[in-house]
Amino acid sequence: MSTPLLNLMDYDRESMLGLMAALGERSFRAGQLLQWIYQQGVFDFAGMTNLSKDLRGRLGEIAEIRGPEVVGDQTAADGTRKWLLQVDDKNRIETVFIPEPGRGTLCVSSQAGCALNCSFCATGRQGYNRNLSAGEIIGQVWLADRLLRAEQGAASSPITNVVMMGMGEPLLNFDNVVSAMRIMLDDYSFGMSRRRITLSTAGVVPAITRLGNECPVSLAVSLHAPNDRLRDELVPLNRKYPIRVLLDACRRYVAGESRRRITYEYTMLAGVNDAPAQARELRDLLVNTPAKVNLIPYNPVPGIAYRRSDPATIDRFRDILLAGGIMTITRKTRGADIAAACGQLTGQITDRTQRSVRLQRHGAEAN
């Protein structure tokens, strides 16, 4: 049986340095390889002309550069773009690009499915199959960058921001997600700043602390409720890491960073979490916390009974928070007509048997 080829998209700078050392090459070759892959978009080793002929030949024998395969491509009326990507013979994931004047945000998936089963989210209803590799995560950025540059004839990347808000819970795939984000940050790759990369989590508390130590990018927390009783229903992970424990971890994450805030995401569900009393409860919960609240009008999902709060209710909720000194905005819904909006991503996850195994492994008693 032949040995599988190494996918160099699984390699950040540190692991690429290790590979070059194993091949007897000097360390600067690692940076050259990253530049060819991510800045030049070259995936044929023969075209990497500043590498020695011997190294190109050896890489051709043991390695490849393989990104996800596009099997679906939709554009919404508002310009939002969604790609359906094949990652293996069982699973397809979705990646979304949201263009705005002077800004382009790519929403990236971290898992095939999601194990957390939040009650209002389409992704969780699909079940969970597996973590994506670092290459499958950064491959979404690499692919979108190549496609958008080619179509727009752009010299620089149309992608200015990356949000780890697609399918899956990023902090349950910690090592691969951090490796991919390090490639995004690397000056030899995409050279993005930490403030332009945002990781969204439902609240895997130990991993929040670890992220702060290893790769402190911008953090968004899917809160969605002002108390444990309601959050237990909406976000079952709360039974493992209740709100007070979660908020303590968030405060530690930004400790000593005077300009850094945690973004708290709050999906507005009619008659569930949108009452003025709940707004006041949320205000009191976040007082004296470096917080920004994103109110997200609920995006309907077939088979899920929740309804979106009406605009007047959302405005009233927002005004209570603003009056309490909590920076609050209402997120504009983008891409809903192609099911590309927040909470609507599903992909195609054919193996739905792994949720309970995954949750037990991480101690997240969410069923």
Which pLDDT tens digit goes with each residue over 145-192? 999 999 988 878 899 999 999 999 999 999 999 999 999 999 999 999
Q: Is residue 46 part of a domain?
A: yes
Mean pLDDT of 39-59: 95
Q: Is residue 187 part of a domain?
A: yes
59, 177: one domain? no
30, 127: one domain? no
46, 91: one domain? no
* 41: nearest Cα among 65, 19, 11: 65
Please state, in angstroms and rounded to a whole number, the distance separating the CA atoms of residues 238 and 230.
10
Q: Is residue 297 part of a domain?
A: yes
184, 151: one domain? yes
From the candidates 94, 136, 169, 265, give the one annotated as an active-site residue. 94
Q: Is residue 24 part of a domain?
A: yes
Query: Strand pairing partners for 222?
Result: 265
Mean pLDDT of 84-95: 93
Q: Is residue 366 part of a domain?
A: no
Please state, in angstroms and rounded to a whole number, the distance separating the CA atoms of residues 66 and 131.
17
Which pLDDT tens digit goes with each residue over 74-88? 999 999 999 999 999
Residue with tokens 């969604």: 82
Mean pLDDT of 307-313: 97
Domain end position, chosen among 43, 64, 85: 64
175, 295: one domain? yes
The CB density around residue 89, as the number of other CB atoms within 10 Å, is: 6
What tokens were used for 249?
């971890």
Query: Strand pairing partners for 361?
Result: none
Catalytic site includes residue 114: no
Residue 12 and residue 178 in contact, taking contact as beta carbons nearer than 8 Å: no
Give, in order, the Cα–Cα distances in Å from 19 to each of 16, 66, 283: 5, 17, 51
Q: Which amino acid is at 285?
A: L
Q: Provide the pLDDT confidence category of residue 357 given band limits of 50, 70 and 90.
A: very low
pLDDT of the residue at 125 = 76
169, 47: one domain? no
15, 90: one domain? no
Q: Is residue 120 part of a domain?
A: yes
Catalytic site includes residue 118: no
53, 158: one domain? no
Structural domain of residue 22, as residue ranges?
6-64
Please state, in angstroms and rounded to a whole number, the distance separating the CA atoms of residues 65 and 79.
30
Domain end position, chosen among 36, 64, 92: 64
Q: Is residue 1 part of a domain?
A: no
| DSSP-based three-state secondary structure for 142 | helix
pLDDT of the residue at 156 = 83
170, 29: one domain? no
Q: Is residue 221 part of a domain?
A: yes
* 171: nearest Cα among 105, 246, 98: 246
182, 273: one domain? yes
What tokens were used for 102?
């002077």
Name the domain count of the chain: 2
* 343: nearest Cα among 293, 306, 299: 299
From the candidates 25, 151, 342, 365, give the one annotated as an active-site residue. 342
Residue 13 and residue 29 in contact, taking contact as beta carbons nearer than 8 Å: no
Which pLDDT tens digit goes with each residue over 112-145? 999 998 998 888 777 899 999 999 999 999 999 9
At 62, which helix (H) or strand (E)?
helix 53-62
Give, in order, the Cα–Cα distances in Å from 38 to each of 144, 195, 264: 11, 20, 32
107, 56: one domain? no
57: domain CATH number is 1.10.150.530
Mean pLDDT of 264-291: 96
Residue 203 has pLDDT above 80, yes or no: yes
Domain end position, chosen among 27, 42, 64: 64
249: domain CATH number is 3.20.20.70
Which pLDDT tens digit goes with each residue over 312-349? 999 999 999 999 999 999 998 887 777 766 776 676 66
42, 166: one domain? no
